C-alpha cells in the first residue's frame, strides 16, 4: 500500500514532467517555425548584393588604418614605455 504522501509526490512529479514536456515542445515548435519563416523570407528576397569593397580593397584599407594608428599613437607608446609603464 502506497502512502498518501508518496502518491502526492508521484502525482506532482508526473504533472510537472508533463507540463515541462509541453513547454519544451511548444518552445521548440516556436523556434523551428521562426527559423522556417526566416528561411522562406530570405529565399524569396533578391539575392545578396556584393560588398562595396572587394577583398583586396579591405586588406589595403586595414593596412592603411594600422599604419595611421601606429603613426598617431607611436610617440605616446614610446613615451609610456620609456617611463616603465
User: 58 CB contacts (<8 Å, ≥6 apart)?
Assistant: 51
CA distance 57 to 43: 29
pTM of model > 0.85: no
| Strand, helix or coil for residue 23 | helix
pLDDT of residue 78: 86
| pLDDT tens, residue by residue, 23-76 | 999 999 999 888 888 777 766 555 666 566 666 777 888 889 889 988 988 888
Question: Domain residues of the chain, as ranges?
Answer: 4-44+59-82
pLDDT of residue 18: 95
Res 16 pLDDT > 90: yes
pLDDT of residue 80: 85
Amino acid at each position: 500500500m502506497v502512502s498518501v504522501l508518496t502518491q502526492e509526490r508521484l502525482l506532482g512529479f508526473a504533472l510537472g514532467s508533463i507540463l515541462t514536456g509541453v513547454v519544451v515542445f511548444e518552445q521548440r515548435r516556436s523556434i523551428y517555425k521562426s527559423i522556417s519563416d526566416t528561411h522562406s523570407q530570405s529565399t524569396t528576397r533578391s539575392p545578396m548584393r556584393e560588398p562595396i569593397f572587394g577583398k583586396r580593397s579591405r586588406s589595403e584599407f586595414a593596412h592603411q588604418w594600422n599604419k595611421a594608428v601606429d603613426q598617431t599613437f607611436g610617440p605616446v607608446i614610446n613615451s609610456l614605455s620609456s617611463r616603465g609603464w
